């Protein structure tokens, strides 16, 4: 009943928008300077596990985690200048509805493009279209690469240059900016300030292959007042190493490389990433996924494997214990901070099917075996540590629509 109501409301909303703007919407270029378009996804998921939750899913069917509607308006100011805004209404508890993109595009030539304003950070291949499920085969992107929360959006300048040769095409992108944003992680709002954010992306296309490498860095300040106060207290008492080890601000760096191949019959995709962040509660992470599939147009089937390794900084042992109750309490409080930072490895095995029913409407089914090695931390959002074995099956079905 809830599913039916939600789908009805979603369709009512998007249909109204489509009807209202029917004269200006569409993918093909028109003479109208104002164009509206959008995307919607309805995702139902079920985690076959009583003792853990994942991405908001538990052992009952839920459609409130990844279901969303996005609307985009493009206004062509003149031949080389345009303005774009994209608003996304979400259902997930951990996700805010927001104006995700708001930028001006200046294209002095067909090969050069500048975008100024609020944008998604182009860290990975699909970072900018995480919400547009129609753009990729999976229902949930491989989490071992795509779940990292550091600087997903920014306000700044993005430059893109493209060269197409007889046999090879090359692309270069560079951007710089920063942002202040509240990110919600595991139900907890983290007030985050990001500055000195910059990065570069290089791509090479050759026949059906596309290779991409990129580097991104930014200074992140997660304003966690309790941790900051405790760090200051440690510093005043002379425990500098301990104080430094619970930094809530520092530089985060992403390294990314990917190789995609596709033709009419097959596709293969692999992407590797490394994250290094000077923050006590952010692990050093290495992750990758490998995916391959076969097309029986309009149906494609695929299998994916993804893995990550997460390593946290170790706590200092400079606070002496057994000398006074005050120092013991201090040492205990300090160690407690690290009790939630446990090294872990996680894996996912996914098989799925996508059926492009219409030119702009696709259905997907997907099942994923999720694994975290220690059943304490890593992949799952919550778990009953006494009963959870670290493994669970996630089943999802989705409808993806662009209009």
Partner 1 sequence: MKILFSLFVLTFYSSFLIGEENSIKVVANIQDRSIQLSRQQVRNLFMGGSLPYDLTAISLPPNSHTRVLFNTKVVGLTESRIQSYWAQMRFTGRKPPPTELTSETLIIEYLQTHPGTVTYLPADVQIPEGLTILFQIN
In the complex, the residues that contact partner 1 under the rule CB under 8 A are 27-29, 37, 39, 70, 72, 84, 86, 101, 103, 105, 109-111, 113, 115, 119-120, 122, 126, 128-129, 132, 134-136, 160, 162, 164-169, 205-208, 262-264, 267, 295, 297-298, 300, 354, 356, 359-360, 362, 402
Least distance CB 178 / partner 1 (angstroms)? 20
Cβ-based nearer residue to partner 1, 52 or 132 = 132
Cβ-based nearer residue to partner 1, 67 or 86 = 86
Least distance CB 249 / partner 1 (angstroms)? 30
The rounded distance, in Å, linking the Cα atoms of 286 and 76 is: 41
Cβ contact 105:197 at 8 Å: no
Cβ contact 270:262 at 8 Å: no
Cβ-based nearer residue to partner 1, 337 or 402 = 402
Cβ-based nearer residue to partner 1, 27 or 149 = 27
Cβ-based nearer residue to partner 1, 187 or 208 = 208
Cβ-based nearer residue to partner 1, 354 or 383 = 354
Strand partners, 175: 158, 199
Least distance CB 138 / partner 1 (angstroms)? 12
Cβ-based nearer residue to partner 1, 199 or 315 = 199
Cβ-based nearer residue to partner 1, 205 or 283 = 205
Least distance CB 132 / partner 1 (angstroms)? 5
Least distance CB 86 / partner 1 (angstroms)? 7
Least distance CB 28 / partner 1 (angstroms)? 5
Least distance CB 146 / partner 1 (angstroms)? 15
Least distance CB 162 / partner 1 (angstroms)? 6
The rounded distance, in Å, linking the Cα atoms of 276 and 151 is: 13
């Amino acid at each position: 009943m809830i599913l039916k109501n939600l789908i009805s409301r979603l369709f009512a909303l998007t249909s109204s928008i489509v009807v209202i703007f029917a004269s200006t919407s569409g993918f093909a270029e028109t003479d109208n300077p104002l164009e509206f378009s959008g995307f919607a996804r309805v995702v139902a998921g079920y985690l076959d596990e009583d003792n853990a939750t994942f991405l908001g899913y538990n052992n009952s069917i839920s459609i409130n985690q990844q279901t969303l509607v996005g609307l985009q308006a493009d206004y062509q100011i003149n031949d080389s200048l345009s303005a774009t805004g994209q608003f996304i209404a979400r259902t997930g508890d951990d996700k805010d509805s927001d104006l995700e993109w708001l930028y001006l595009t200046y294209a002095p030539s067909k090969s050069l493009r500048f975008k100024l304003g609020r944008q998604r950070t182009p860290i990975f291949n699909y970072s900018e279209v995480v919400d547009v499920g129609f753009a990729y085969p999976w229902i949930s992107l491989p989490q071992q690469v795509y779940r990292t929360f550091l600087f997903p959006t920014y306000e700044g300048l993005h430059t893109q240059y493209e060269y197409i040769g007889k046999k090879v095409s090359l692309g270069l992108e560079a951007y710089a900016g920063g942002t202040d944003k509240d990110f919600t992680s595991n139900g907890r709002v983290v007030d985050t300030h990001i500055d000195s954010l910059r990065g570069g992306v290089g791509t090479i296309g050759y026949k059906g292959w596309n290779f991409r490498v990129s580097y991104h860095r930014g200074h992140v300040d997660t304003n966690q007042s309790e941790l900051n106060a405790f760090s200051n207290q440690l510093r005043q008492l002379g425990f500098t190493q301990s104080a430094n080890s619970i930094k809530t601000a520092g530089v985060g760096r992403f390294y990314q490389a990917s190789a995609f191949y596709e033709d009419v019959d097959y596709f293969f995709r692999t992407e590797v990433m490394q994250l290094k962040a000077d923050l006590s509660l952010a692990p050093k992470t290495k992750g990758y996924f490998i995916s391959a599939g076969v097309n029986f147009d309009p149906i494609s089937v695929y299998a994916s494997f993804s893995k990550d390794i997460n390593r946290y900084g170790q706590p200092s042992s400079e606070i002496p214990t057994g000398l006074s109750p005050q120092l013991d309490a201090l040492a205990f409080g300090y160690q407690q901070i690290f009790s939630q930072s446990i090294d872990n490895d996680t894996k996912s095995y996914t098989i799925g099917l996508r059926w492009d029913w219409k030119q702009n409407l696709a259905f997907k089914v997907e099942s994923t075996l999720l694994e975290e090695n220690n059943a304490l931390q890593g992949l799952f959002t919550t778990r009953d540590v006494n009963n959870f074995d670290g493994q669970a099956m996630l089943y999802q079905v989705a409808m993806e629509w662009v209009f």
